[in-house]
Amino acid sequence: MIGNNALLFVSALACTGAFALSDNTTSQVPKKTGSGYVLTDIVGKRADAHPNPRIYQYPQFLPDVVDTLLGDNILGNILLKERSDPAPVPVSNKFSYYEIDIEVGTPGQQLSLILDTGSSDLWGVSTSDIRCSNNGQGSLDCSQNTFNQEKSSTWQVNSSAPNFGIQYVDGSGAKGVWGNDVVSFGDVSLDSCSFGLATDSNSSTGIMGIAFPGQESTPYPYPNVPQLLKDQGYIETVAYSLWLNDVQASTGNILFGAVDHGKYDGPLYTIPIINTGSGSEPWDMAVTFSNITVCLGGVFSTIEFTEGTVILDSGTTFSYLPSNMVQPILKGLNAQYNSDISGYTVPCDVDDGGFIEFNLDGAIVVVLIQEFLLHLKTASGDIAYQNGKPLCQVGLVEQDDANSIHILGDTFLRSAYVVYDLQNYEISMANSALNSSFSDIEVIGSGGVRAL
């Protein structure tokens, strides 16, 4: 069922601990590719440090990047991109991210890249990266998940483009060249796809950015992956649906050009993407955030969001919200601050059936408290209290800096089915049908989800 900006009210009885989201396991194997859509799996990963720091400020073009990118100081007048995740800590399984497998070149070379709705460039690490351990100058393992352009008969350097380069405020970054090659995934092949090839990087994994071209890290916009899928006839509308599945699941999927009605429950709300930049069109996945209703210990409380918009970002592990929203939740869970991980922890069995209802401009998504809890591990196993109970980190972070950007990351998105329509500047969302194997795919036409 598709709805439009209607409110879904959760009964007060739901706050007794009996509330649960559906787990649809009806068996029907979806197609990989059909007329007007492309479907491909994404794989959830956990690690002690995110393999690639996140980008969520305005894209930057770094002139003369070959000589200065990874030097001592290039701040000058450049607004550097920020990390959305804290610095790495000596704990395993702390960060979650989602990878998509693609092939680049002829013959195809497989790369696993971070799927990111918060950036727009496609880039990977070169086998000739000077920081590869096999080159004797670094510690990056380049034996796999890297691209050797010399082995691709279709690789072409884009000599008219500026050098590829990006840097993060913590000093990590990548530099190299722009090129074009064949990129394949989900049974489709894109010709002449722009690809940034990092030859000097201290990030171990590249990115497939699928946001608006306005976030590309070059002053010369180009058609990125979602736009090329339309330009080359695979989809009718520059749109895609993201289904991450629950916190315990290892795989989800991304569906370009269509909606899968088998992957969500209840109404599919459609709301506008908000223009937060200075241009005439939206440049990031910002939507109006109205409030949250928290149910903990059988008690409801509603907290208004007064900051305007929030970013929906699959490349961010946690959710970053004002302290007036986060603190009541942490207090209700009796969470304790842990300086070792720069975050709050609770026993993993703290969940009492509580949930958080998010109201995004009238679109309602309910997230169980359990979906915000990330198990912490060391190399030898679970981190536990003295009584043996496993320790979990709460995937909510206070963000109160005056210039901060508020983000709903993977801890929220796993419970939501989200359709990103870059052509009509709309977001559609519903509660995810967790672990669903049922598929009912409908192509998105030029009128967007509202026209379905």
CA-wise closest residue to 420 among 256, 190, 208:
256
Across the chain, which distance is largest between two alpha carbons, in Å? Answer: 64
Query: What is the rounded CA–CA span in Å between residue 169 and residue 53?
Result: 9
Give the integer Cα–Cα distance in Å for 67 and 79.
18
Host H or E run for residue 190: strand 188-201
| CA distances from residue 231 to 26, 223, 235, 238, 301 in whole angstroms, order as listed | 35, 9, 8, 9, 47
From start to end of 218-375, where are the E strands?
239-243, 251-256, 258-260, 264-272, 286-288, 291-296, 299-304, 309-312, 319-321, 336-338, 343-347, 355-360, 363-368, 373-375
Q: How far is CA 62 from the centre of its chain?
A: 24
Neighbours of 438 (CB within 10 A): 16
Q: Which of 181, 260, 284, 313 is catalytic?
A: 313
**Given 85, 116, 129, 410, the catalytic residue:** 116
Is 313 a catalytic site residue? yes
116 an active-site residue? Answer: yes
Q: Is the dihedral of CA 392, 335, 385, 51 positive or negative?
A: positive
List the catalytic residues.
116, 313
